[in-house]
């Protein structure tokens, strides 16, 4: 149970806002966009013109400054319903000609995600892989989809949220290396599947998914995943799989993935793929009519 009245912000996926067990409506589309970029700023102030550039893709309206102020007032009423008129409240603070979001006693998924990643890196450096994996999996479980929801309102906002998606992809790959080594590959499969769905052409993520599936005894699914991304790379980009994917496939076929268990299905997969065309890892230019 969450503490009654505690605010909770979720941005590692579509924006969601809670007070205790009650989900709140953050308001109209651009007001929600304002809250998203302030959350992404992680407590740093954003100038009024930065906020305008993050909310409006094309030429903003002449009243953009007043509209931002209006959205701030609306968000303050959502976050603190009993706030007196003209009171700044606890969370949305005016600073340096702009605004910043101060979480105070509220909780949010993005700071927790970053803390778990930092703790995972620290545990790895101390030679504690099991504890590192625990922190990685705690971080990965916080992600529900593309940060901020998709699509982003502007190119600038998209660039901000893409950074968080990239952190998720990198963490999933790093966690897989440890999980496979420790025989805990099943723990990272949900995050890897989510990451692969978010970016169907991300080769390191798919290589990790293939490796984790094989380590979990799902050789047929691992090889099917390889065939899928190989086809997408060929069709969409006109390239062959890179070294990470080629190595992942080789380890599945040769049963050299740690924890790889022999199975009749695996034997059938090896026979099926034995005559498959070899992947050479070089990249060719797309050929289009």
Using DSSP's 3-state secondary structure scheme, residue 23 falls into strand
pLDDT digits (tens, 9 = 90+) for 33-53: 999 999 999 899 999 999 999
pLDDT digits (tens, 9 = 90+) for 171-212: 999 999 999 999 999 999 999 999 999 999 999 999 999 999
Nearest-angstrom CA–CA distance, 160 and 167: 12
Output the pTM of the full model: 0.86
Q: Of 212, 224, 207, 172, give the one whose Cα is nearest residue 281.
A: 207
Q: Identify the pLDDT of residue 9.
A: 97
Using DSSP's 3-state secondary structure scheme, residue 104 falls into coil
Residue 84 is classified by DSSP as P
CB-CB contact of 121 with 171 (8 Å): no
């Amino acid at each position: 149970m969450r503490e009654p009245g505690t605010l909770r912000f979720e941005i590692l996926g579509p924006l969601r806002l809670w007070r205790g067990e009650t989900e709140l409506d953050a308001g109209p589309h651009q007001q929600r966009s304002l809250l998203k970029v302030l959350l992404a700023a992680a407590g740093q102030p954003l100038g009024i013109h930065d906020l305008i550039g993050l909310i409006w893709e094309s030429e903003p309206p002449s009243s953009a400054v007043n509209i931002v102020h209006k959205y701030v007032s609306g968000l303050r009423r959502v976050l603190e319903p009993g706030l007196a008129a003209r009171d700044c409240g606890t969370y949305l603070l005016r600073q340096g000609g702009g605004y910043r979001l101060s979480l105070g006693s509220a909780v949010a998924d993005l700071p927790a995600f970053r803390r778990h990643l930092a703790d995972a890196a620290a545990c790895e450096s101390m030679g504690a892989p099991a504890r590192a994996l625990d922190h990685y999996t705690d971080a990965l479980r916080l992600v529900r989809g593309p940060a901020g929801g998709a699509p982003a309102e502007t190119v600038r906002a998209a660039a901000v949220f893409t950074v968080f998606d990239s952190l998720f992809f990198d963490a999933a790959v790093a966690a897989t290396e440890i999980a496979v080594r420790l025989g805990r590959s099943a723990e990272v499969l949900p995050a890897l599947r989510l990451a692969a769905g978010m970016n169907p052409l991300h080769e390191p993520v798919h290589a990790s998914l293939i490796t984790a599936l094989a380590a979990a005894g799902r050789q047929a699914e691992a090889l099917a995943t390889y065939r899928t991304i190989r086809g997408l790379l060929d069709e969409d980009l006109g390239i062959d799989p890179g070294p990470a994917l080629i190595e992942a496939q080789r380890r599945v076929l040769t049963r050299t993935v740690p924890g790889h268990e022999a199975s009749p299905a695996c034997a059938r997969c090896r026979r099926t793929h034995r005559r498959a065309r070899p992947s050479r890892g070089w990249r060719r230019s797309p050929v289009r009519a």
